[in-house]
Structure 1
């Protein structure tokens, strides 16, 4: 045990916290494993941490046990709040629990920057949150993201050009962070067990993006290119409203190229071209 609080199975049973598929919930029960995930985030002493979707608080307890100065736990499911408040009582002044939607919350009023994000993200909002964090003003208010995803999503985040997993997430992650898969977890680590393996991705913020580009345009261009990834870019980029061929050629991309063959530097050049046009 990492603290004097009850085992998670007991907490879940006492508060009737059966995971709900509608909320994208799969709970980690092994507290040694949650502490290990917290350690992936690095030294937490003197650092504030944002956690999204804490559920019964397994990872929350790991973060606090590893020395986080403060954890802001954002939970949409009101059933989990009593369990989280019990953790707050065991760690006085170090855990703030907020009931609400992480997509609608600005952590800036509650956390000291730069904070870290560490979360077993609900599957139904995970990628949307990641894209928001990667496309906000830079440098960001967070220093790193340590996030649990389905393994296939994790592989998409760290994928290289020319591979089948390469797409929008890989471009945005490589543009502004150093991303790596730190842990892979089997289905039986969770309750209920999902049908797929999961993985923890660690993304460390770069001081500067690897290439200049407007984040909104980069996100739009990459989303259009990979939205119809079997098509040549001269066709998939047409919905953006500008003739794509001259912009592609100016970025050094043959108009007949497909999205998965374009590296980060050329995606950024293409985004700059669209922004200027």
Structure 2
């Protein structure tokens, strides 16, 4: 056993050194994460949730989806608060008929809407008896089986006089809502389902529209409950013709969906509220 006293300088050298710049390093790390998150959301994908019934039957209230930013390139509205000094669009390609897109409504250039592209720049469009007439040719649509949606807090049934909406029961006795459904096919071959709830004068029979250059004509799939390009743009309402720079991105995939009956303070109700079959659905 040694009786030699340790050298104070040697003892101090074995003690762990206090980290310098720890706060600054953490701040740099958080700033890097923030920049990466902003770039991801601005350039690659962004989340979006469905707040209304305008895109039934494809999208339900309570659906959450990713929107792809890269297909159409980028405009100032691709970035948070429209801060990017971009005039028009750069990179990417033009949207196609039938694409489901998220865009900033022209009424305020800040509120996100989601609709389907029907008309391209230069197209002539009219709605006759609920059917789209595109450049003088009616867009084919055929009656298919009713769309049936279970009644939940996020999917109420709202029958109105004159509309073909029926509330009835599923085989297990649970309440459901039944809507008339049609299959519509655009000239480029894109097919999708739409709802036509009944004859509405201003929605089913319109004037003739000419889509200006640099703009698009968009409609919701739930034709009688969609404030879209058939009507002039107004705050918290219709959208009119949508400028190409207002398009944020293309709907990519549903990553979550809830029917709305879960309670945040009761975690055991969460799994039962998830619409599991809807997750992973593409466009």
TM-score when normalising by structure 1: 0.22
Which structure's relative contact order is higher, taking Cα pairs within 8 Å and 6+ residues apart?
2
Structure with bigger gyration radius:
2
Between structures 1 and 2, the one with greater helix share: 1
TM-score when normalising by structure 2: 0.22
Between structures 1 and 2, the one with greater strand share: 2
